């Protein structure tokens, strides 16, 4: 042994000793001290809430009460377990989720401290899919604010149990009764208080706990509470809250309901059982109180979580990619899902996982079901912020991490031999903000590409596209802050100077009437010449239209004698249909290639063309000088001429946008939509918010997230999804054509 380990009987004390030992921080710790938890002893909880709600400070209090740290860090001091990366210290807000744990009553409580900003919602989405319960932290000064509303919607969409943690009870602006009434008005009588404060405000140090029917009082500097009988002045209110709680708990079980109706009471164990059942089916949202700043209420909050939060065996079983339920079974085959990767200082690449089935043991040889490779997990660890502690085994339902795996990516499933499970249950929100990105030093372009791919692995809500059409690298994220943080990381961590630009818009070109053209390509410069002549007709394509027969242009009719038909779906949407109406088909493939050249670079703006039908009805060839390139060039020019004569139009991508906003912001949002050529489609109300559905051109969405935040004071949110391509207005088309012609002149 390198050091004398004291006799430690519980996990919390063990972790505290390891954390305070210098060898622990150098990752030279001993595995044997780490307690292994059974599946039914594991509870996974996400701490979510708006920016500034106090989750990072609450995390410090939880770690202190759990014995993982000996003293709390502060956000201002930059020494907290969460918010420990350079960019988080620079900007003063959480960017990624932090995994940590605490032990209470023989239960292991795995926590994820999630960022509060909606720009980093991907971390919350990951955490909520991997954990089983959300603890939504509310700033007691602000009540049901935009952070609460946004995070509740995310939890609701994923369908996880939820409890509210009202923080900052020590603040003079905190009004518990007002906040509690706001919660019940917004989310109904599912919201049930387990506690109410005795003295909210600067002197806050006591709560009445109606679950235990005790009054808890803390020292002025926080820490461990003293339990006593409820003061007589609060007895009636305590009884009222207790009855409301028992009634809600009883509704979740027939036996409990019968007993409650007969006796008008339940035992503490029966109440806890009812609450747990209610949390699983989201019919109860319990409320607890803390002052994270003073570390008041944290110990009791952990006690409550250890009893009422469902363990992993009580939750609906997750489904694999085949739709089959996979229970968290310690006796099942080993299956491990990797949900997060990160690069951490002094460690390198860290891969976080959840054991979906079986018992994962250090040294296990597993198969990567997504990549077909073999992987040995020589060492597995439990996680407490940046500290990784080796452990012998991790049971189904628990969270762990491995370091420097050779071929594991975020979203991969690793199984033991004979197990075929693949998990893919995390759906990330669509991006809301796009920018083109480039390295200022062109020689670093390839290096930048590798960095961006790594960033996507760490944060799947960052989407990277090398757009052949736009000739740009497009990075898409959740908002301006999201991409600003990406830029900071690239420039400060990877030392690549970059710039953002407005992304080009993927316009489309099409035609609205039939037109005819012919073109002769002839070139003679000694030796073999070039000759090819193509006659064709173009017209708009629509699904189900009849086959072409006769066209009339001026006084001349053109009869189509169809020999062959090609239907070519365009990679970028729409269709090209080509009819061969001539006898000699030798050069038809070359002619089709020429047409495709112009479909890939439309005559109006250089954008992709779509939904065109072409009839090749005549042409001429030379027995010596005709070849493939001649007919390809002839077809290209004939198609361009006909396209321009067919009343061509530019199409733009239009998105369905759904906006959630407070009612007092409606006027400003409507006015802004009009200025963006938006069309209002629907309006409704939900949970105290107005819901607006509109259709807006992508061109007008470039800075929408910033504008909406400004209009609403950060209280509104939106999501967007591609809808269709629509004709641009005439003035917009004229401007696009002018800009394209000017750009071609600049290139010349």
Determine the pLDDT at residue 550. Answer: 95
SS3 letters across 571-584: CCCCEEEEEECCCC
Residue 746: strand, helix, or coil:
helix
Lowest mean pLDDT among 70-84, 194-208, 602-616: 70-84
The domains found in the chain, sorted by start residue, are 1-35 (no CATH), 36-312 (3.40.50.300), 335-415 (2.40.30.10), 433-504 (3.30.70.870), 509-647 (3.30.230.10), 650-732 (3.30.70.240)
Residue ranges of E strands in 269-344? 285-289, 335-344
Has residue 10 got a pLDDT over 70?
no
* DSSP 8-state symbol, 70: S
CA nearest neighbour of 144 among 721, 688, 699, 714: 688
pLDDT one-digit tens code per residue, 642-661:
999 999 999 999 999 999 88
Tell me the average pLDDT across 182-203.
94
pTM score of the predicted model: 0.83
For residues 154, 159, 160, 166, the Cα torsion angle rounded to the nearest 10 degrees is: 50
* Helix pair angle (704-712, 666-675), 10° resolution: 150
Tokens of 288: 């607890």
Determine the pLDDT at residue 222. Answer: 86
Cα distances (Å, whole numbers) of residue 554 to 91, 513, 517, 615, 647: 69, 14, 13, 18, 16
Determine the pLDDT at residue 17. Answer: 35
pLDDT one-digit tens code per residue, 263-282:
999 999 999 999 999 999 99
Determine the pLDDT at residue 128. Answer: 97
Tell me the average pLDDT across 377-382.
95
Indicate the burial class of 76 (C-beta count within 10 angstroms; 0-12, 13-18, 19 or more): exposed
Has residue 46 got a pLDDT over 50?
yes
- Are residues 562 and 578 in contact, defined by beta-carbon separation less than 8 angstroms? no
Has residue 6 got a pLDDT over 50?
no
Tokens of 1: 């042994």
The bridge status of strand 413-415 relative to strand 285-289 is unpaired
Tell me the average pLDDT across 43-48.
97
Has residue 234 got a pLDDT over 50?
yes
Helices (H) and strands (E) in the chain, counts: 18, 38
Determine the pLDDT at residue 746. Answer: 67
Determine the pLDDT at residue 24. Answer: 33
How many Å apart are CA 718 and CA 711, to the nearest integer? 13
Q: At 79, is the pLDDT very low, low, confident or very high (cuts 50, 70, 90)?
A: confident
CA nearest neighbour of 611 among 511, 470, 504, 727: 511
Has residue 51 got a pLDDT over 90?
no
Q: Taking the alpha carbons of 477, 478, 483, 489 in that order, is the dihedral positive or negative?
A: negative
Q: At 84, is the pLDDT very low, low, confident or very high (cuts 50, 70, 90)?
A: confident
Q: At 413, is the pLDDT very low, low, confident or very high (cuts 50, 70, 90)?
A: very high
Determine the pLDDT at residue 33. Answer: 57
C-beta neighbour count of 166 within 10 angstroms: 28
Determine the pLDDT at residue 19. Answer: 42
What percent of the chain is predicted at pLDDT more than 90?
A: 78
Has residue 419 got a pLDDT over 70?
yes
Has residue 181 got a pLDDT over 60?
yes
Tell me the average pLDDT across 465-482.
93
Determine the pLDDT at residue 748. Answer: 55
Tell me the average pLDDT across 707-718.
87
Residue ranges of E strands in 554-673? 556-559, 564-569, 575-580, 608-609, 612-620, 649-661
């Amino acid at each position: 042994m390198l050091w004398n380990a004291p006799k430690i009987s519980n996990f919390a004390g063990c972790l505290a000793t390891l954390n305070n030992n210098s060898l622990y921080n150098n990752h030279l710790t001993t595995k044997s001290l780490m307690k292994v938890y059974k599946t039914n002893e594991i509870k996974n909880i996400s701490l979510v809430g708006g920016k500034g709600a106090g989750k990072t400070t609450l995390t410090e209090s939880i770690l202190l009460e759990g014995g993982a740290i000996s003293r709390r860090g502060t956000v201002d001091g930059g020494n907290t377990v969460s918010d420990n990366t350079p960019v988080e210290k620079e900007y003063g807000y959480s960017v990624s989720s932090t995994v940590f744990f605490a032990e209470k009553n023989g239960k292991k409580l795995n926590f994820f401290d999630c960022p509060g900003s909606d720009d980093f919602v991907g971390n919350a989405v990951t955490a909520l899919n991997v954990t089983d319960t959300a603890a939504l932290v509310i700033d007691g000064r602000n009540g049901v604010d935009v952070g609460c509303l946004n995070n509740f919607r995310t939890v609701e969409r994923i369908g996880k149990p939820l409890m509210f943690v009202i923080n900052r009870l020590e603040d003079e602006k905190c009004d518990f009764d007002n906040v509690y009434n706001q919660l019940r008005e917004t989310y109904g009588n599912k919201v049930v208080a387990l506690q109410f404060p005795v003295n909210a405000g600067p002197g806050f140090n006591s709560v009445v706990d109606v679950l235990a029917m005790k009054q808890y009082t803390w020292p002025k500097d926080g820490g461990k509470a003293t339990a006593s009988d409820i003061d007589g002045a609060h007895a009636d209110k305590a009884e009222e809250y207790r009855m409301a709680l028992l009634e809600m708990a009883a509704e979740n079980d027939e036996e409990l309901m019968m007993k409650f109706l007969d006796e008008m009471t339940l035992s503490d164990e029966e109440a806890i059982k009812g609450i747990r059942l209610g949390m699983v089916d989201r019919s109860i949202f319990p409320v607890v109180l803390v002052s994270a700043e003073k570390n008041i209420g944290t110990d009791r909050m952990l006690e409550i979580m250890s009893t009422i939060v469902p363990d992993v065996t009580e939750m609906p079983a997750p489904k694999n990619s085949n739709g089959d339920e996979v229970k968290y079974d310690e006796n099942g085959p080993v299956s491990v899902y990797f949900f997060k990767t990160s690069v951490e200082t002094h460690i390198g690449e860290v891969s976080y996982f959840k054991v979906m089935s079986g018992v994962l043991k250090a040294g296990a040889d597993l198969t990567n079901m997504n990549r077909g490779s073999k992987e040995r997990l020589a060492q597995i660890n439990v996680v407490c912020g940046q500290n990784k502690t080796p452990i012998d085994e991790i049971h189904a339902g628990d969270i762990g991490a491995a370091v420097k795996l050779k071929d594991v990516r975020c979203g991969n499933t690793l199984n033991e031999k004979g197990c075929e499970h693949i998990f893919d249950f995390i759906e990330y929100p669509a991006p809301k903000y796009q920018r083109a990105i480039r390295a200022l030093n062109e020689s670093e372009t390839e290096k930048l590409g590798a960095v961006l791919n790594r960033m996507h692995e760490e944060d799947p809500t960052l989407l990277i596209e090398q757009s052949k059409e736009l000739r740009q690298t497009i990075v898409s994220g959740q908002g301006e802050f999201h991409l600003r943080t990406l830029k900071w990381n690239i420039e400060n961590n990877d030392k690549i100077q970059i710039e953002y630009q407005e992304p080009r818009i993927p316009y489309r070109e099409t035609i609205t009437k039939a037109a005819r053209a012919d073109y002769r390509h002839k070139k003679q410069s000694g030796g073999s010449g070039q000759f090819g002549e193509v006659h064709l007709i173009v017209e708009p394509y629509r699904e189900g239209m009849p086959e072409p027969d006769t066209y009339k242009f001026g006084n001349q009719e053109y009869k189509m004698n169809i020999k062959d038909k090609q239907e070519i779906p365009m990679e970028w949407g729409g269709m090209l249909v080509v009819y061969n109406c001539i006898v000699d088909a030798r050069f038809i493939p070359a002619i089709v290639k020429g047409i495709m050249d112009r479909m890939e670079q439309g005559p109006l703006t250089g954008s992709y063309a779509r939904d065109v039908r072409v009839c090749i009805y005549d042409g001429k060839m030379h027995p010596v000088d005709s070849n493939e390139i001649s007919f390809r060039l002839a077809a290209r020019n004939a198609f361009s001429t006909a396209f321009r004569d067919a009343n061509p139009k530019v199409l733009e991508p239009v998105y369905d946008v759904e906006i959630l906003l407070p009612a007092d912001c409606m006027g400003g949002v409507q006015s802004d939509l009009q200025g963006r050529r938006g069309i209002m489609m629907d309006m409704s109300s939900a949970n105290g918010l107005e819901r607006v559905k509109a259709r807006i051109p992508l061109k007008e969405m470039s800075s929408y997230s910033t504008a909406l935040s400004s209009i609403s004071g950060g209280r509104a949110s939106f999501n967007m999804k591609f809808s269709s391509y629509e004709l641009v207005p005439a003035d917009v088309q004229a401007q696009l054509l002018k800009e394209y012609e000017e750009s071609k002149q600049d290139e010349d």
